Structure 1
Amino acid sequence: MKRNIYNKVIGCVVLATMLSGCYDDGVEGDSYYVFQGQTVGDYLDADGKYGEFSTILERAGMKGLMYAYGDYTCFAPTNEAIDRYVDSNYPGCTLETLPDSAVVALAKSHLIGVRYLTSDFSTGYLQKPNMYDRKVQVTIEKEFDAAINDSMTVFVLNDYSRIIQANDTVSNGVVHTIDRVLEQSSYVLPDYMQSKCETLGFTLFMEALKQTHLTDSILREKDESPGMLSRLAQYASNSEYTTEGNKVPPARKFGYTVLVEKDNLYKTVYDPQNMGKPVYTGDLQADLVSLFNYAKDIYDKVYPDDKGVYDDDYTHPKNPLNRFIAYHILDRNASYGDLVCSTPDWSVQEGGDFVEYYETMAG
């Protein structure tokens, strides 16, 4: 499969994102202040608006880390942001009565073990996951600000949390103040896609994904087979291996990327067995047949020996619709900015158009 970096795709991990460069920062309070001698912990202690977040860090056993040597990014929610989160998700609870699991998730979700200034951001996902082992999504937008009669850059994290004060640099990292708690999805990919398909408009693709049962192929999170667990334990216990600086991951994780086609796109594609009728009309079951016919027109020519043999079983890997949907799935995580690894200097000097090739789950 040839995938050009300039093609627009709707990725599963990204679901809706476009490649973007870094912007000049324009959020309020974004002055790259350096707080001499202060740590992240000191910075949070110095302002009462972070009091509830500090309490969460203390309960989770993470506060001491914020005074320690290192390089951290702290997305610090205000007291109001935490109150809103607790009221919405744990009605009747206080910070003292929140479940321990929720406290740990809250603390770790807002900390990353490297320093990220907003000048390091681009639309997509931060490369390093947070301490809760989730990647933080970044959306960069432009908004008109009437007060300054000009547009300003807005950084939104995980769809809802807006940075309202950025790049407060301290001795062991940087603090970005956010107006909403960073909520982490516990969905597996098919469930996440199902939750988004209506609002993002890919209902037909989602239905085809379910009807082909390819949802079952993108459920696994980590390899817990006895063989893999044995191999990981073997490497971890090999002092000769680890003393040479090699790191053993705690688990072998699975990742998937789905290149989703939206309903609006199918409105411009015509059913080959009924020219003039678009693949997508809003009648989901009829549209599924149209999408099957569209796929059949492609794959009957590519695989003539299979023509008509598997048409009645959408779940068979040689069924045209199954092949079509599987062609949109990669068995690896690929945020938009990760799809092509390139050398920017070469691109500028030589005018290179970078291309990468991936084998999909269609083979």
Structure 2
Amino acid sequence: MNTTVYHKLACRLAALLMLPALLFVASCKEDLDEDNLYTFTGETIESYLANRPDSFSNFNYILKRAGMDKILSAYGTYTCFAPTNEAVMAYIDSLYADTSCKIEHNGMTAPGLEGLSDSLCNDIAKFHLAASEVMAINMQNGMTIRTMLGRDVNTSIDSVSGRTVVNAYSLITKMDNEMENGVIHIVDNVLRRSNLLVTGEMSNHPDLFTIWKAAIDLTGLEDSLLDVERKTTVPSNAATYKFYCPEKAVLGYTIFAETDSVLKKHGINDINDLIAYANRVYEHCADPGTGWYDYYRNKGVKVSTGDDYRSPYNCLNMFLRYHIAKLRVPYNKLVTSYNEVSGVPLYDYWETMLP
């Protein structure tokens, strides 16, 4: 058979075979229930906020001062926790009226929006934004979200209302407002951020960590928990092979700290009781032949029960360092519900500051 004729016949046959499928698709399209389809309004996150000044003009003012309005007008995928006008004003008033802050009025020059500094606008704006889309279903079991400020926010479920709360304070009143470039969750309070380091946060809760804070002070371990970042070394061949190298590494720490009430249940009522407890646990841990802590035992380390609490071989110092990991572990990373198998115990291992 002539090749050209063969090709023509093959094409006609293929067209005939495809015709029923095309007719079927067309008939299916007629039966679609459009009531269940979400229709995008064509709004970006920025235009959504700008088009509703009665609700979001204050937050949008802050976004514009920080230059984030342009980013939220462009193509991308973002999550925005948008506080209402009332929430923004309540927060700003609290900043200006705060008499306990180290910087007068927290750096504000006057009451109201115009009194905010550029740095405050930048911090507030970026702490309410994430460079990825996080939907309500992702937050059901609690999760940690990295914001564009470089700090995390945590979600949880309010035990009373059953609704999602961010940082245990800001209730999401309306979730999953899908935009062309991401999603908006409306919150009833500005997300509160802290400039405190981990040990400073302990000082903020004297009703919980009096004993632990006293132990941190005695051992001087706070000095080991101050670094928040370090510069990285870029390999000399990075430019040649065109691979990305971050200029800095973000550092973090996790303290598994018993509260005063937990310690008191075990007869530890003050710092002296904690010292005595640490001595009992660690005094003989590195004894030759019988010690259970083989890392120190094999190195011939002599553990001390003396009062040089800054020594890494002191019992109190060892006790505290066993509770501290040199990495930041958000709560949702401690549980692996998405990977659980019924009846199978799951384990994870964290290396602490005690070798």
TM-score (norm 2): 0.76
Which of 281, 290, 297 is the aligned partner of 2:273? 290
Q: Name 1:253's counterpart in structure 2.
A: 250
Q: Distance in 1 between matches of 2:200 and 2:77?
A: 35
SS in 2 for 1:101: helix
SS in 2 for 1:142: coil
Q: Name 2:170's counterpart in structure 1.
A: 161
SS in 1 for 2:257: coil
Q: Name 2:18's counterpart in structure 1.
A: none
The answer to whether structure 1 residue 176 and structure 2 residue 189 are counterparts is no
- For structure 2, the 5+ residue unaligned runs are 1-35, 98-109, 289-300
Q: Does structure 1 conserve the Cα–Cα contact (< 8 Å) formed by 2:282 and 2:303? A: no
Q: Does structure 2 conserve the Cα–Cα contact (< 8 Å) formed by 1:32 and 1:169? A: no
Which of 312, 315, 322 is the aligned partner of 1:320? 315
Range moving further from structure 2, 183-192 or 171-180: 183-192
The answer to whether structure 1 residue 348 and structure 2 residue 344 are counterparts is no
Q: Name 1:139's counterpart in structure 2.
A: 156
Q: Does structure 1 conserve the Cα–Cα contact (< 8 Å) formed by 2:42 and 2:180? A: yes
Which of 277, 282, 306 is the aligned partner of 1:299? 282
Q: Name 1:66's counterpart in structure 2.
A: 72
Alignment deviations for residues 78-132 of structure 1 (CA, whole Å, 9 cap, x no partner):
11111111111135333233211111111111111111112101565424x1111
Q: Does structure 1 conserve the Cα–Cα contact (< 8 Å) formed by 2:251 and 2:327? A: yes
Identity %: 34
Q: Name 1:279's counterpart in structure 2.
A: 268
Q: Name 1:241's counterpart in structure 2.
A: 241
How much does 1:202 deviate?
Answer: 2.3
Q: Distance in 2 between matches of 1:134 and 1:83?
A: 23
- 1:190-229 superposed matches below 5 A: 190-198=199-207, 201-224=208-231, 228=232
Q: Name 2:49's counterpart in structure 1.
A: 44
Q: Name 1:3's counterpart in structure 2.
A: none
Q: Does structure 1 conserve the Cα–Cα contact (< 8 Å) formed by 2:144 and 2:330? A: no
Sort the Cα spacing of 1:184 and 1:85 in 2 relative to 1 into closer, same or farther, 3 A. Answer: same
Q: Name 1:5's counterpart in structure 2.
A: none
How much does 1:189 deviate?
Answer: 1.7
RMSD across aligned C-alpha pairs, in angstroms?
2.4
Q: Distance in 2 between matches of 1:97 and 1:327?
A: 46
Q: Does structure 2 conserve the Cα–Cα contact (< 8 Å) formed by 1:32 and 1:168? A: no
How much does 1:359 deviate?
Answer: 2.0
Q: Does structure 2 conserve the Cα–Cα contact (< 8 Å) formed by 1:32 and 1:167? A: no
SS in 2 for 1:249: coil
Sort the Cα spacing of 1:32 and 1:110 in 2 relative to 1 into closer, same or farther, 3 A. Answer: farther
User: Which amino acid counterpart does residue 351 of structure 2 have in structure 1?
Assistant: E
Q: Distance in 2 between matches of 1:213 and 1:34?
A: 59
Q: Distance in 1 between matches of 2:353 and 2:117?
A: 40
Rg larger in structure: 2
SS in 2 for 1:165: strand
